Structure 1
Amino acid sequence: MTPIPTGRLFRTDTGSDLVLTRTFRALADDVWASLTEPERTARWFGPWEGEGRPGSTVKVQMVFEEQEPWVDVRIEACDPPQRLSLSMADEAGSWRMELVLSEVDGVTELRLVHHLDTEEGLGEVGPGWEYYLDMLLASRAGKPLPSFDDYYPSQKAHFESLTTAVDL
């Protein structure tokens, strides 16, 4: 498998936004459940525990990462089934992201927006999100999960090139 990177970078007043999209032939409510129900997130990202509501912090196990660590994820905003805003901090730094869903005629687009304070490390971060989003696609379709080796380091150059692109 040779996945093609889809991530795009947009400069903002506060940094940059890395945006990746995926499309599902499913209602937004169903895609939302794949993003928010612990037994479904376990299939492609990792299970979570805690009280899933705005302002709370849940624990998420990163089962597809080395040593399967548990991380604290704060739910900043939750507007089912359109928008989930999250933040977390780990040894790699702090992360702020949004998952935004829009549905038209039974087809739902998911936009993952990773709000970046710096573009440093984008060559590692971007392939990771591509991998996780394709894990979501595969888990929903009942297909075998992809291998991270198909994403990194092969997609690193694509994401590094985004940091040198000039906004028009």
Structure 2
Amino acid sequence: MTARPTGHYVLKDDGLYLQFDRLFYAPIEDVWFSLTNPNAMRAWIGTYTGSPATGGVRFRMESEGEGEWQNVTILECAAPHRFTADSGSGPTGIRLFCHLVEGGGMTTLTLGQRLHDPTESADMGPGWDYYLDRLAAARAGTPQPAWETYFPAFSRHYRELEVPDAARR
């Protein structure tokens, strides 16, 4: 696999998102498991504790060592098709969504993170490309990609993305 920047802007009712798509030759339930099972998540991004059914969990990035635990609020969960979650609050809070669609023996994952400012995408974009490629590698049982392939190399792509006119208002 050759790494390349894949994110693009999408304007939604609640703001501007940097969005990514990945295609997996797997059933939707299998991809959902990779995104939502705390043990499966360890292979590509991190883990969580708690019960998502309560509307909140504690998440920790583990792919680069042990990070800090973060409180995550689950705003929507419709297994195995979509979830929306918030991590943190105020100006540094993160809103993330994942949508899954299955067809023809393949599942498309669409992941988006809401932006506070389009300039964030120069750092955020390479990170999500990296983590989604880590997800693909974990699922395929292939070696994990190197962070140096993504950052700072992909930052220029994200700095040059065209922001939708409606998001500039």
**Same-fold call, TM > 0.5?**
yes
Query: 1:38: which partner in 2?
Result: 38
Instruction: Find the aligned partners of 1:152 and 1:92 in 2 and give their Cα distance.
Output: 24
Match of 1:52 in 2: 52
Displacement of 1:149: 1.1
Aligned pairs, number? 166
Is the 1:71–1:90 contact (alpha carbons within 8 Å) kept by the matching residues of 2?
no
Residues in 1 aligned to 2:91 and 2:158: alpha-carbon distance in whole angstroms? 18
**Residues 71-103 of structure 1: per-residue CA shift (max 9 Å, x gap):** 111111100110011110279811101100000
Paired position in structure 1 for 2:3: 3
Q: Could you list the runs of 5+ residues in structure 2 that have no partner in the other structure?
A: none
Consecutive unaligned residues of structure 1, counting only runs of 5 or more, are: none
**For residue 25 of structure 2, what is the amino acid of its counterpart?**
R
Which AA in structure 2 matches 1:152?
F
Counterpart mapping for 1:3-152 below 5 A: 3-53=3-53, 56-65=55-64, 68-89=67-88, 93-152=92-151
Contact 2:42 2:63 in 1 (8 A): no
CA distance in 1, matches of 2:91, 2:41: 22
Percent identity between the aligned chains? 35
Q: Does the C-alpha gap of structure 1 residues 26 and 34 become closer, same or farther in structure 2, counting only changes over 3 Å?
A: same
Residue 115 (structure 1) shift: 1.9
Secondary structure of the residue aligned to 1:117 is coil
Cα deviation for residue 2 of structure 1 reads 5.1
Stretch of structure 1 that moved more, 100-109 or 8-17: 8-17
1:25 deviates by 0.3
Q: Distance in 2 between matches of 1:28 and 1:109?
A: 8
In the alignment, the residues of structure 2 paired with residue 127 and residue 114 of structure 1 have an alpha-carbon distance, to the nearest angstrom, of 13
TM-score (norm 1): 0.90
For 1:159 and 1:104, how far apart are their aligned partners in 2? 30
Indicate the SS of the match to 1:69. coil
Q: Tell me which amino acid in the other structure corresponds to 2:141.
A: G
3-state SS of paired residue (1:68): coil
Structure 1 vs Structure 2 CA RMSD: 2.2
Give the drift of 1:114.
1.2
For residues 10-66 of structure 1, what are the alpha-carbon distances to aligned partners after superposition, in whole Å with 9 as ceiling and x for unaligned? 23454311110100000000000000111101111111110112x522111211246
Determine the C-alpha separation between the residues in 1 that align with 2:29 and 2:40.
13
